[in-house]
Amino acid sequence: MLNFYRAASIVAGPAAGALLRWRASRGKEDLSRLDERFGRPSRSRPFGVLVWVHAASVGESLSVLPLIERMLDFIPNGHVLVTTGTLSSARLLRDLLPEGAFHHFAPIDRPDAVRRFLDHWRPELAVWVESELWPNLVRDTHLRQIPTVLLQGRMSARSYRNWRWARSLIGPLLAGFNQVLVQTQADAGRFSDLGAVQPVVTGTLKYAGFPLAAKETALREMQSMLGARTRWLAASIHPGEFETVYQTHVQVRENFPDLLTIVVPRHPSTAFELEKKWVSRGLSCSRRSAGTGLSPETEVYIADTMGELGLFYRLSAIALIGGSFIDHGGQNPIEAVQIGCAVITGPSMFNFAEVMADFNLSGVSLSVGASADLPEKVSELLSAPEHIVSLAQQQKKIVTSKASVIDTVFEALICYLPTSE
């Protein structure tokens, strides 16, 4: 099947190029760096050892930042090339990557683009994060005998069912990795069944991620505007969850008339339509990107700017984690817990099964089974601020106790890290 996929990607090559250019015309790709998506570099290869880390998007990129620093400390005069496929991750990494590391857009999975990319960069080690495995890119890296490691591999039950129908495609890819490190025992069983050789359970590096930052000036400004208002945060909310948040605000407001709901949409591009819809239903809304600020009459503050989630976690004692009331599997709850929020989740958190299992075992899970139960849970928490603080401390203690996962992962990686050229 790999040969069939390769042939199909060649045939579809012109269409893929046209799609990228169309996306760039609509601001979904960086037009000034579009050549990178075709494997054409925008800078020279640095002299010396180069480790290549591929992460799909923002969450995966942030989770490996501490590991990248460890690798750079270990490799004298070495460099780390980080590839991602999204504009949002590129913008964030521009300011967050340590000295010695740099970002490049991942090439599209077309043989000519992959060849140009690998010809230029010639990494000594390739590290894939989680589960974005592009067949041509992985296969050609293996054929060049570049050592490859899959980090914090994750495979949901749904993905596993789908991949079982394409074993002849994924099997050779997984078998070619020198090492496969996965998050849970369930992941290990699924990866092994599909062809990975002796996957090792290490947990998720997100436990060891750096806390999300916030600008002090922005924090002080927001605290001044908020004062002592009762508030809660709905973070990384998907369009399919907007109605859940709306109904929760309306019902909780009956008990807390000064309630402010802060909504961080998962996709900032949805914020304008969200504001328009809720205003038409009688809510007073303010959108951060519009610069309208907050007034005592504002009921909903839509935080639709990039890279400020750390700011809003610092402004609310409780945070609803988005992606958990739809069949998405939840966004990252660890980021909120690290900053001191008590996190509430819906029933769909399979992306973070390990975290939720730890919370359940310790009796500090704030999971609700259905969207209709959310208003009661939020009201209950807002009525007991001391209880919120206690729960947040207990959740944070669990997350902190798992931070040593970075040591486990680095120990597994160290035998593949070159120290000099």
* CA-based end-to-end distance of the chain: 37
Phi, psi of 389 (to 5 degrees): -60, -45
Who contacts 357 (Cβ-Cβ below 8 Å, separation ≥6)?
none
- Give the Cβ contact number of residue 96 at 10 Å: 18
Count CB atoms within 10 A of the CB of residue 192.
15
Gap between the Cα atoms of 340 and 343, Å rounded? 9
Beta bridge partners of 50: 79
CA 170 to chain CA mean position, Å: 23
How many Å apart are CA 322 and CA 324, to the nearest integer?
Answer: 5
Quick check: is 386 catalytic?
Answer: no
In the 8-state DSSP scheme, what is residue 205?
Answer: G
Nearest Cα to Cα of residue 323 among 244, 228, 255 = 244
Q: Which of 29, 60, 130, 275 is catalytic?
A: 60
Distance from C-alpha of 162 to C-alpha of 280, rounded to nearest angstrom: 42
What kind and span of H or E run contains 286? strand 285-287
The residues, ordered by sequence, that sit 6+ positions from 262 with a Cβ below 8 Å of its Cβ are: 231, 232, 233, 234, 300, 301, 303, 312, 315, 316
Q: Within 13 Å of residue 250, how many CA atoms lie on the same side as its CB?
A: 12
126 phi/psi in degrees, rounded to 5: -120, 130
Sign, CA dihedral 333-163-109-200, equals: positive
Do 75 and 51 touch, CB atoms closer than 8 A?
A: yes
Q: Which amino acid is at 319?
A: A
Do residues 321 and 342 lie in contact, with contact meaning Cβ atoms separated by under 8 Å? no
Specify whether the CB–CB gap between 70 and 42 falls below 8 A: no
Q: Which residues are catalytic?
A: 60
